């Protein structure tokens, strides 16, 4: 267990970030009691939010940031550092072999592929682990047992086990602690080993070759979903460079599968498979599988069909190895050129698994009375193309049954190095009546929802990005710019900044949703939710929303935005 002083030092670091948080009083009292009692029992009784608040300090850990800067020039150091952290946490790399891992990367669709794969194998009765990112509402969504986010009590217990081991050893390692994603990856390994899962599905974070999940030495099968341009500052500025990174998860003798790719990245993946020494197969179209009826998918969108095909190949290959008498003695499959994967006949468990798969925030529809929300975390131009295709198919179906005028609203935000202009350009033909922009802040009034705190980006930067997106939208729609933005709340953070009648910028997700719904969504009208006041002049602009028979809202551009919206729209996700 952690020593008293280590515990108190870490607590005070957390407290420095949590002034105004609802846990401030409780944690202050706890830290005071620690000065006269043994640390370990008190430390273990800290609750889930305390664990998440402590986890959040790893987002901006100074030594971790310095470490990331050093490693960018020497990416192989990332895996070396990860092995060191794993060892300090009390784990060995060869222990991970016992998890019977399926390892999946890609630019878009890798999370959906993992979700299909996990559901299929769970339908066979296996106890599954599933590690993915990012989370939508609560961080424990990233680590799932049998399809469900790990419970708060188990998360808290295992969190402190790993955190204390790392904290106790940091002085001997230059004060270093793993950054946020690295820590969660180590935690997932620890949880899956402790919970004795039969298999674990691991989604790569970014890239592949130097992603911290790539300390996995012996997965049972690897998969690569559709490739595109993303994270160029880390992975490279061409799709071929990105393909090289993704192919880095291949392992000698371990079968690998990919969906159909364009010639450039396909050639790179072929070269990586030959270099590393593994087989590489291309998945068939979903229509080619030998099924009496067309395979039904639980996830909407035509692009999910290639993800489902990849999942069928991954699960089928895993099952073939599992049902061998001695899986460890199975012959490695070496490279012999890229070959088409066979279109076999899916079992009833596979068919059922594909149909039952759920993956919130991706092509998801929520109907709340007269307000219908279409949520998709598309954040690249390719995924936005798929999102627009899906929205243009499904929204008219709802509109035909409306029986009166329908107003379309876009709620958009994008983060990081995303090409917002290119994504917004794809959205213009959807003919939105309003375009609303807001940062990925769930609500302007702090309630210490630690799961969705992000210390890596300032509020000022987030709002500036929203204003830039608003201006891009106006230019794309041929609207002239006003000389100055009108700030509708004086002093401090503006509640709404607007430059044109049909574009608005709000300071948080809740205020945007409340304005869009105009009191017509009973979930958002919950008396427990704070209603953020808006100037009468802005409410007057919402007459169209109040008079419409239905309001259709597309929420897209960022999974974090979608997650923040779901926090308010689906209360079950907060439990």
Question: For the segment 253-263, what is each residue's pLDDT rounded down to a tens digit?
Answer: 999 999 999 99
User: How confident is the model at residue 181, as a pLDDT?
Assistant: 94
Q: What pLDDT does residue 525 have?
A: 83
Cβ atoms of residues 361 and 566 within 8 Å: yes
Domain-located, residue 10: no
Residue 263 inside a domain? The answer is: yes
CATH (domain of 472): 3.90.190.20
Any domain includes 537: yes
Q: What distance in Å separates the CA atoms of residue 87 and residue 573, rounded to the nearest whole number? A: 34
| 538 and 389 share one domain | yes
Same domain, 264 and 283: yes
Which pLDDT score is estimated for 73? Answer: 62
Same domain, 431 and 339: no
Query: Which of the listed residues 300, 329, 356 is the one where a domain comes to its end?
Result: 356
**Same domain, yes or no: 129 and 195:** yes
Q: Domain with 187 in it: what CATH number?
A: 3.40.1190.10
pTM: predicted TM-score of the whole model, two decimal places = 0.84
Given a contact cutoff of 8 angstroms between Cβ atoms, the answer to whether 60 and 194 are in contact is no
Cβ 195 vs Cβ 83: under 8 Å? no
Same-domain status, 314 and 376: no
Query: What residues form the annotated binding site for ATP?
Result: 362, 376
Q: Is residue 317 part of a domain?
A: yes
382 and 304 housed in the same domain: no
Domain assignment of residue 15, yes or no: no
pLDDT at 65: 47
pLDDT at 488: 40
CA separation for the pair 314, 256 (Å, rounded)? 8
Q: Which of 356, 377, 400 is the last residue of a domain?
A: 356
* Total tally of structural domains belonging to the chain: 2
pLDDT of residue 124: 97
Q: Report yes or no on 40 lying in a domain.
A: no
Considering just the CA atoms, what is the radius of gyration of the chain in Å? 24
Q: Are residues 296 and 370 in the same domain?
A: no
pLDDT score, position 460 = 80
491 domain residue, yes or no: no
pLDDT computed for residue 486 by the predictor: 40
| Ranges of residues in the chain whose predicted pLDDT is under 50 | 1-44, 61, 64-65, 448, 482-500
Q: Which two tokens stand for residue 333?
A: 């499959």
Q: Are 155 and 238 within one domain?
A: yes
- The binding site for Mg(2+) comprises 133, 203, 231
Q: What is the pLDDT of residue 376?
A: 96
Tokens linked to 236: 């490279």
pLDDT of residue 329: 59
What is the pLDDT at residue 229? 76
**What whole-number distance in Å separates Cα of residue 179 and Cα of residue 185?**
10
Q: Secondary structure of the chain: what % helix, strand, coil (to 5)?
A: 50, 15, 40
Strand order in the sheet with 338-340: 148-149, 143-145, 128-131, 199-203, 101-105, 221-224, 256-258, 280-282, 338-340
Residue 47 burial (C-beta neighbours within 10 Å; 0-12, 13-18, 19+): middle
In a domain, 41, yes or no: no
Query: Could you tell me which residues are annotated as the binding site?
Result: 133, 203, 231, 362, 376
Q: According to the model, what pLDDT value does residue 45 have? A: 54
Distance in angstroms (rounded) separating the CA atoms of residues 226 and 303: 9
Residues 445 and 380 in one domain: yes
Looking at the structure, do residues 193 and 282 belong to the same domain, yes or no?
yes
Same domain, 259 and 349: yes
Structural domain harbouring 426: 364-478+498-574
Domain boundary among 339, 356, 373: 356
pLDDT for the residue 15: 42
Q: How many Å is the maximal CA-CA distance in the chain?
A: 74
Same domain, 416 and 338: no
């Amino acid at each position: 267990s952690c020593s008293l002083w280590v515990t108190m030092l870490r607590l005070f670091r957390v407290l420095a970030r949590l002034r105004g948080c609802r846990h401030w009083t409780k944690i202050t009292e706890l830290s005071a009691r620690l000065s006269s009692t043994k640390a370990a029992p008190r430390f273990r009784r800290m609750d889930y939010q305390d664990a998440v608040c402590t986890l959040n300090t790893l987002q901006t850990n100074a030594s971790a940031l310095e470490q990331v800067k050093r490693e960018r020039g020497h990416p192989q150091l990332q895996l070396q550092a990860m092995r060191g952290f794993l060892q300090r946490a009390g784990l060995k790399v060869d222990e991970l072999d016992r998890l019977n891992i399926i390892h999946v990367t890609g630019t878009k669709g890798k999370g959906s592929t993992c979700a299909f794969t996990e559901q299929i194998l769970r339908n066979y009765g296996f106890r599954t682990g599933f590690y993915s990112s990012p989370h939508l509402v609560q961080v424990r969504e990233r680590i799932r047992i049998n399809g469900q986010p790990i419970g708060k009590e188990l998360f808290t217990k295992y969190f402190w086990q790993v955190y204390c081991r790392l904290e106790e050893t940091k002085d001997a390692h230059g004060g270093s602690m793993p950054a946020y994603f690295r820590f969660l990856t180590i935690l997932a390994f620890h949880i899956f080993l402790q919970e004795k899962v039969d298999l674990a599905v691991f989604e790569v974070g970014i890239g592949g070759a130097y992603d911290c999940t790539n300390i996995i030495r012996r997965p049972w099968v690897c998969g690569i979903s559709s490739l595109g341009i993303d994270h160029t500052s880390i992975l490279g500025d061409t799709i071929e460079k990105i393909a090289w990174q993704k192919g880095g998860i291949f392992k000698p003798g371990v079968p690998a599968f990919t969906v159909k790719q364009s010639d450039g990245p396909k050639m790179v993946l072929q070269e990586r498979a030959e270099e590393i020494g593994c087989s590489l197969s291309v998945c068939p179209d979903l229509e080619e599988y030998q099924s009496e009826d067309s395979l039904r998918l639980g996830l909407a969108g035509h692009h999910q069909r290639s993800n489902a095909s990849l999942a069928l190949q991954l699960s089928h290959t895993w099952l073939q190895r599992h049902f061998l008498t001695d899986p460890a003695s199975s012959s490695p499959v070496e490279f012999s050129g890229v070959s088409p994967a066979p279109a076999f006949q899916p079992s009833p468990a596979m068919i059922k698994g594909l149909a039952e798969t759920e993956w919130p925030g991706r092509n998801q529809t929520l109907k709340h009375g007269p307000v219908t929300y279409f949520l998709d975390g598309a954040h690249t131009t390719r995924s936005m193309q798929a999102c627009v295709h899906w929205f243009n198919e499904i929204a008219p179906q709802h509109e035909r049954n409306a029986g009166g005028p329908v107003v379309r609203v876009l709620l958009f935000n994008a983060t990081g190095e995303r090409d917002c202009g290119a994504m917004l350009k794809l959205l213009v033909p959807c003919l939105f009546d309003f375009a609303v922009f807001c940062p990925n802040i769930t609500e302007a009034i702090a309630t210490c929802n630690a799961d969705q705190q992000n210390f890596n980006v300032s509020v000022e930067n987030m709002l500036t990005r929203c204003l830039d997106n608003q201006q891009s939208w106006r230019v794309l729609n041929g609207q002239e710019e006003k000389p100055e933005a009108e700030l509708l709340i004086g002093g401090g953070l503006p509640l709404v900044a607007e430059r044109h009648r049909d574009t608005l910028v709000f300071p948080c997700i809740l205020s945007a949703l409340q304005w869009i719904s105009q009191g017509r969504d009973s979930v958002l009208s919950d008396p427990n939710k704070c209603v953020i006041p808006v100037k009468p002049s802005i409410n007057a602009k919402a007459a169209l929303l109040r008079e419409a028979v239905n309001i259709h809202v597309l929420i897209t551009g960022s999974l974090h935005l979608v997650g923040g919206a779901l926090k308010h729209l689906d209360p079950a996700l907060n439990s």
